[in-house]
Every structure is written in C-alpha cells, then in structure tokens.
Amino acid sequence: MTVQKIKENVYFVGAIHWDRRLFDELIPLPDGTSYNAYLIKGSEKTALIDTVDPTKEIELVKNLKNAGVKKLDYLISNHAEQDHSGVIGKIMELYPATKIVTNEKCKSFLKELLLIPEEKFTVIKDGDELSLGDKTLKFIFTPWVHWPETMVTYLIEDKILFSCDFFGSHYATSSLFAREGEKLLEDAKRYYAEIMMPFRNVIVKNIEKIADLNIDIIAPSHGPLYRKPSFIINAYKEWISDDVKNEVIIPYVSMHGSTEKMVEYFIDLLVDRGIEVKPFNLPRTDIGEFAMALVDAATIVIASPMVLAGAHPAAVYAAFLVNALRPKTKFISIIGSYGWGGRFIEQLKSLLSNLNAEFIEPVTVKGYPEEEDFKSLENLADKILSKHRELKIIP
Ligand code: FEO
C-alpha cells in the first residue's frame, strides 16, 4: 500500500498482504493481513515504528523513499517477531546511522533472530520518553501481547497509540481507518482468540496500564487503525473478562457415523434446553472459527471415536489446541463411540490440563448408539443445563 497520512507528519508506510492465507503455517487468514509500519517526522528527528514481513521488504523501502526519508534517526521495535522486525536488516543497510530503540528483552531477541550487532541498539526502560523535537514518544511495556518483550509506543502530542500486535486484526483492507462494525469485530476476535487468548490474565494488567492514556487513535501493526479506541478496548474487556456465554462448543469427528449420530442427537437436546450450540466437524472446520468460538463459550464437549486404542487424531489436535489457547471455559466433557476398547477419555483429559474447568462425566457408547445411550446423553445435557443455570447465563 502507498504512503498514507494519519496526522500531520505521521504516516502509514506499511504493506498489505492481500492473499496471505496462513500465518505461522498454522493460523488461517481468510481476509489476508497487513504489516503496518509508521513514520513519524519530528522537527528534529525522524522515527520509524516497526518494519514489515520480509516478503514485503520492497514495499516498505519504496514507501520510505516516496515519503522523502533521507535520514532515519530511530527505528522503534515494539516486537521482535519477524512479521514486524524482518526488514530491520535492510533498513540498517539503507540508513546505517539509525539506532534501534527497544527494551532489553526485545534487543536480545533481535540479536538472536536477526543477528543485529549490539552497537545498533539504544535500550529504553518502561515509561521512558524519546524526543523527536516537536513530537515525543513514550514507551510502555505490555508483555505477552504477543511475546514476553512486547511493548507499545505512545505519541504524546498526537495521542496515537502504536500497539503492534495488541488490538490487531488479520484484515487486509485499503481503508486506513477501521469501519467499526461486525466484520472488523469478527476479524479482531479471531485474532484475539488465536494470538492473545492464552495471555488473557496478563492482558487484564496491560489494559489497566494504558487506561489513563488520552488516545485519539489506536494504530496496531495488523489491520486497520481505530479512530474510536473504545470500540476495540471494550471488546477486549469483554473477551478477557471471566464472563461466559450460554454456549456449548462441540468439536467432533466421526468415521462411520456412530459418533456423528451421538452429536446430532446431543445438539437437539441442548437446543431444546435453550442452549446455543456450535458444532465443528474437525476434519473440515476452519480452526480460526473454532478458536473464535472458544473465546466465550461456557462449555466444550469433545466428540471422538476410538482409533488404535486412542482418540481420533483430529480430536487429539482439537484438545491440544484448546489446551494451548487456554479459554475461560467453565465445563468440559467428552462423548464418543468405540468398537472394542481403549483409553480415549483418559487420553483427551490428559491433554486438557491447562484448563481451569470442571469435568462432567463423559458418555461413551460401544458401537452405534441405542436407547440407553440416548438416555445418557439426555443426562449429560441436563447436567450442562443445570451448570449453566448455576452461572445464571440461561436467558
Ligand atoms: Fe504480528 Fe507477534 O507478530
């Protein structure tokens, strides 16, 4: 994308990756993404905030040239991950006098990941300020959004918060500023679920840390900028809260239809009880949508058949993912069918040790489900209903 003015002498100089469909070889990107870098021209010094993914090096270099940057005094590195730091080497080549301004932890990551020499760095502490003349940058450490070294940079005079991954969205759009609505909220929630959710408790502290800033614009390093900061801050406050919704998520896989029959029957039971259900057929599902559903559901019920004396690998992957993403889910159970024996319940349970959730008695069926099995599923649905009632989340 071309250079775009945000405020007087503050510019977007990043790149849009319209057709990227996978991040970290793991996360689906149905709407592409962007790597936002920002140029700030103070009356005395010029600073670049973050760079872009190495695949977009040419665009950043072209944008800096088009913005008339002959001398770059500072490169602020908010986060060492390569989608923001990957072009630092090239910038150092083009502007050898530039100092990389970052925290101690980020410096060591950049030295290890990009082999940048020690003398290129200026290390700042939490709360430090850096003058560019008529503009001042303030650095605020916000660990674990997304790595331990992450920080945000606040441009005091223009009231812009450069938040890097924090508040971002994987959303490629030619609009510099967000159209705050359902679509963006969905992309931001997907992003939160995949990247931020494991660090929910730390994010609570980070939100408190920026609460007193007077913010006109939040400028993340993925997706559009927010002119209504409350839109994304309030969404985060809801996602990180302990509140859950009257929802049951059912990640399931079935080989010959027995487990699927259980799932179909179970969905109807839950719907009859006034509970919202989100089933995910694991071999076909978009893992990002599954992650997004995990953000606020009260209950997860994993459904799997037995394969080679254990759970189906698709169910193992789902359990592993749930455990890694650490949602605030309150209740968890397992249902499934088996042919002759095995230990798939114990196996799946052992994969969910990070969850602070109550385990509800599972329902297993030998072969195709029969009358008494349906009765067991009814009991499970009743138990979930009563648990949701205890939480007072049933409308
Ligand atoms: Fe967008 Fe953690 O990098």
Tens-place pLDDT, residues 327-354: 999 999 999 999 987 789 999 999 999 9
For ligand 1, is residue 31 a contact (CB within 6 Å)?
no
| pTM score over 0.75 | yes
Mean pLDDT throughout 44-54? 98
| Residue 249 alpha carbon to ligand 1 centre in Å | 28
Look at ligand 1, atom 1, and give the residue with the nearest C-alpha.
165
Model confidence at 124, in pLDDT bands (50, 70, 90)?
very high
| Residue 317 alpha carbon to ligand 1 centre in Å | 23
The rounded radius of gyration (Å) of the Cα atoms in the chain is 24
pLDDT in tens, 195-230: 999 999 999 999 999 999 999 999 999 999 999 999
| Residue 24 alpha carbon to ligand 1 centre in Å | 10
Helices assigned H by DSSP within 225-361: 229-240, 258-272, 287-294, 313-325, 344-350
For ligand 1, is residue 79 a contact (CB within 6 Å)?
yes
Beta-carbon contacts of residue 206 (< 8 Å; ≥ 6 apart) = 142, 143, 144, 145, 166
Mean pLDDT throughout 59-88? 98
Model confidence at 108, in pLDDT bands (50, 70, 90)?
very high
Write out the two tokens for 300. 């997860």
For ligand 1, is residue 247 a contact (CB within 6 Å)?
no
Helix (H) or strand (E) holding 306, with range, is strand 306-307
pLDDT at 24: 83
For ligand 1, is residue 146 a contact (CB within 6 Å)?
yes
| Residue 368 alpha carbon to ligand 1 centre in Å | 46
CA angle 160, 161, 166 (to 5 degrees): 150
For ligand 1, is residue 20 a contact (CB within 6 Å)?
no
